[in-house]
Amino acid sequence: MPLETRPFDISEHLNSEEDCLEFMVAAFEEGDPAFIAKCLGTVAKASNMSKLARKTGMSRAALYKALSGEGNPEFTTILKVMRALGLELMPVPAKEQATEDAA
């Protein structure tokens, strides 16, 4: 009898706000905008996409498309989604920049 498997879905394992925050911190550390958008979509899915759509005033379909990692979401969309998820985007000094400036 063949073993049945299903694709791994990280959104099923983001069970708390802390899990989601740590996941997004790791995404931002990668620095790839498409990856960040896709990870934000994963957190949105884990947090209830329908509820998020109502909070942002966007359709679920538009959110899925913008946060797929293949779309190119507007910055305002990223900010709306982050705020609706209870996250903020705050500038902090870059670690590399601070090291280079000290030399």
User: 46-79: per-residue pLDDT in tens?
Assistant: 999 999 999 999 999 999 999 988 878 999 999 9
Range 15-102 classified under CATH 1.10.260.40? yes
- Look at residue 97 and tell me whether its pLDDT is greater than 70: no
Confidence (pTM): 0.80
Please compute, for residue 65, the number of CA atoms within 13 A of its CA located in the half-sphere on the CB side. Answer: 6
Instruction: Average the pLDDT over 34-48 and give the result.
Output: 93
In terms of Cβ atoms closer than 10 Å to its own Cβ (0-12, 13-18, 19+), residue 14 is buried
